[in-house]
Amino acid sequence: MSVLPTVEKETGAHPAWSIIWLHGLGADGNDFAPIVPELASPPWPAVRFVFPHAPVQPVTINGGMAMRAWYDIYGFDLMAQQDEAGIRASIKHLDALIAREHERGIPSERILLAGFSQGGAIALAGGLRYPEKLAGIIALSTYLPLAPLLAAERSAANADIPIFWGHGTVDPVVILQRGTDSRAALEALGYHVAWHTYLMPHAVCPQEIADLRQWIGERLR
């Protein structure tokens, strides 16, 4: 599989770590690139941030309009009917991005996966199934897709992967209950989720960035 086009930001020469960050529905890799100067901390080792562009495809909930999307969404109830084929295709795209970081000298245990909304769903689905140990997963304003299949498909290498989850208490897109249900499903399988809620809609906020900076810093050791 060819590697998706990306926007990349490096915090220093010869990065020793990589963070692959997946955008939400209808956005692109530029969406979160501006967060790097605010998020990165000077004591960190050099990090390569990789912001891929999702493929362009029709999205049913938006009247079939073509836009960048990691998978199709059929209706507002995200759990009622899921685009399993599309989700699995995007997991393969994520695997290819991880493989390219390997080729550039970054081992799996120094790669974090991050994503917002749809991108967070793929970071979770792909990271928990990835066969080699990863450094962590950052799930922002999202949910766990294909949850009933995870127990049979999850990777033993990432059974204890650290997970940061941030969610808005007034999110009208991925409602808070969707997030708490996903957290419960993960915890039932033994995963540890660092759970954070913020008084915000479907967005990110300064306190979330501050909490995430601290959490990432604890991983980069």
Q: Is residue 117 within 8 Å of residue 73, measured between CB atoms? A: no
Q: Which of 90, 117, 141, 182 is catalytic?
A: 117
Nearest to 173 by CA among 82, 53, 75: 75
Query: Does the annotation mark 18 as catalytic?
Result: no
Query: Does the annotation mark 171 as catalytic?
Result: yes
Q: Which of 31, 72, 83, 171 is catalytic?
A: 171
Q: Is residue 3 within 8 Å of residue 96, measured between CB atoms? A: yes
* CA 164 to each of CA 16, 71, 111: distance values in angstroms, whole numbers, following the listed order: 21, 23, 14
Query: Does the annotation mark 53 as catalytic?
Result: no
Q: Taking each helix axis as running N to C, give the angle between helix 118-129 and helix 84-103, from 0 to 180 degrees, rounded to the nearest 10.
A: 70
Q: What angle do CA 16, 18, 21 make, to 5 degrees?
A: 165
Looking at residue 45, the DSSP 8-state letter turns out to be: P
| Other beta carbons within 10 Å of 206 | 10
* CA 148 to each of CA 57, 81, 87, 118, 126: distance values in angstroms, whole numbers, following the listed order: 26, 13, 14, 18, 15
- Residue 198: phi and psi, rounded to 5, are -140, 150
Q: Which of 95, 181, 196, 202 is catalytic?
A: 202
Q: Which residues are catalytic?
A: 117, 171, 202
